[in-house]
Amino acid sequence: MKFEVTILGSSSATPVFNRNPSAQLLNCNEKYYLIDCGEGTQQQLTKYNLKASRIDYIFISHLHGDHYFGLIGLLSSLHLNGRIKPMQIFGPKHLLEILEIQFKYSDTVLRYPIEFFPIEADKSVQIFENSDLTVKTIILNHRIPTTGFIFQQKKRQRKLIKEKTDQVPMAYYTSLKKGIDVELPNGDILRSEDYTTEADAPRCYAYCSDTLFDERYFDTIKDCDTLYHEATFMHDLLERAKETHHTTALQAAEVAKITGAKKLLIGHFSSRYKTLQMLFEEAQSVFENTELAIEGRTFQL
Ligand SMILES: [Zn+2]
Ligand SMILES: [Zn+2]
């Protein structure tokens, strides 16, 4: 099953050096989840041949503009392009008011319903579930209420061994995949473990947008396979990071190490860095399996 994320933007605050503000597109089993929606997200989707119309769920971490200024444009375009299926949006409660006022004064009545789910940034809770995954909030420590998100895949059914099941009537597949042995009319038993293999282990992706390094959220993201963590500054600007409630590249790597992540993606780079190699090296000095969240890159989770 596909479980991958494409980076659409990883700049903090302003678009600069061809870098766009925060946005990522998660593909889980061919369903699309947009995580944050900074200015320019629509163009980024087009640039990387990703269809905005396929997005059914949007998660907004907080109300600093670099995380949602692209949303009204994206929602308007979907309306103009004839969307009728609902869009589920999860975000801080005032986001709905902001959207409604823009639609009101542009006299826009969307052709499709927005199903809005307000998020409280006080305790980590599950906010979404379908047959593929669950989404839980991560309570971050920023200047305004901010949550990250954990996308946790569900356990899948066992996988059929094709060469062996060719001769088995399809009617028995469901039971075999569930691990249930099947008795044939002639009394023969088909043992599930002979015809199937263990499903892939469910994986998990944690998205930590803007935050101060704060061990209170470490438990929530413990043992995630891939951790995206903001790394706005180099560690020589630790004081600036603390003042603005952000993290340094070194600290992001420490979070990955302490919480037992298998892979770290760093992003939300300050506009003071024209190139990103130094941030990468700083993080990698603490956590080997680090990658830069470069726009256009897709990471298997
Ligand atoms: Zn930000
Ligand atoms: Zn912010």
DSSP string for 279-292: HHHHHHTT-SSEEE
Which residues make beta-bridge pairs with 114?
A: 87
Known binding residues for Zn(2+) = 62, 64, 66-67, 142, 210, 268
The predicted structure's pLDDT at residue 188? 87
Structure tokens at 141: 């420590």
User: Which ligand approaches the C-alpha of residue 23 most closely?
Assistant: 1
Known binding residues = 62, 64, 66-67, 142, 210, 268
Residues 179, 276 within the same domain: no
Ligand 2 is an ion; its neighbours by CB within 5 Å are: 64, 210
> pTM here?
0.92
The predicted structure's pLDDT at residue 171? 87
Residues 98, 206 within the same domain: yes
Calculate how far, in angstroms, residue 148's C-alpha sits from the geometric centre of ligand 2: 11
DSSP 248: B
CA distances to 94, 100, 226, 233, 239 from 212, in Å: 23, 31, 19, 11, 11
Nearest CA to 213 out of 260, 261, 250, 246 is that of 246
Contact 51, 45 (CB under 8 A): yes
Residues 129, 174 within the same domain: no
Q: What amino acid positions are annotated as catalytic residues?
A: 66
Structure tokens at 70: 């692209």
Amino acid letter at 232?
T
Helix (H, G, I), strand (E, B) or coil at 98: helix
The predicted structure's pLDDT at residue 14? 80
Question: Which residues in 25-40 are b (16+ Cβ under 10 Å) and which e?
Answer: bbbbeebbbbbbbbbb
Residues 236, 173 within the same domain: no
The predicted structure's pLDDT at residue 15? 79
User: Which ligand approaches the C-alpha of residue 268 most closely?
Assistant: 1
The predicted structure's pLDDT at residue 170? 86
Calculate how far, in angstroms, residue 214's C-alpha sits from the geometric centre of ligand 2: 15
Residues 134, 262 within the same domain: yes
Domain that holds residue 171: 159-197
Residues 240, 280 within the same domain: yes
Distance, in Å, from the CA atom of 33 to the CA atom of 234, rounded to the nearest integer, reads 30
Residues 74, 188 within the same domain: no
Total tally of structural domains belonging to the chain = 2
Residues 125, 25 within the same domain: yes
| φ/ψ bin of 148: left (φ > 0), alpha (ψ from -120 to 50), beta (otherwise) | beta
H or E stretch including 148?
A: strand 147-153
C-alpha dihedral over 217, 219, 222, 228, to 10 degrees? 0
Helix (H, G, I), strand (E, B) or coil at 212: coil
Calculate how far, in angstroms, residue 268's C-alpha sits from the geometric centre of ligand 2: 10
Residues 128, 168 within the same domain: no
The predicted structure's pLDDT at residue 242? 96
DSSP 13: S
Calculate the CA 261 to chain-centre distance.
15
Residues 64, 182 within the same domain: no
Distance, in Å, from the CA atom of 41 to the CA atom of 74, rounded to the nearest integer, reads 8
Where a domain ends, among 174, 197, 220?
A: 197
User: Which ligand approaches the C-alpha of residue 14 most closely?
Assistant: 1
**pLDDT profile of the chain (301 residues), mean per 10:** 95 84 97 97 96 97 97 96 97 97 95 97 96 97 97 91 85 89 88 90 96 96 97 97 97 98 97 95 98 97 95
Residues 168, 27 within the same domain: no
Distance, in Å, from the CA atom of 98 to the CA atom of 100, rounded to the nearest integer, reads 6
Calculate how far, in angstroms, residue 159's C-alpha sits from the geometric centre of ligand 2: 43
Where a domain ends, among 197, 222, 246?
A: 197
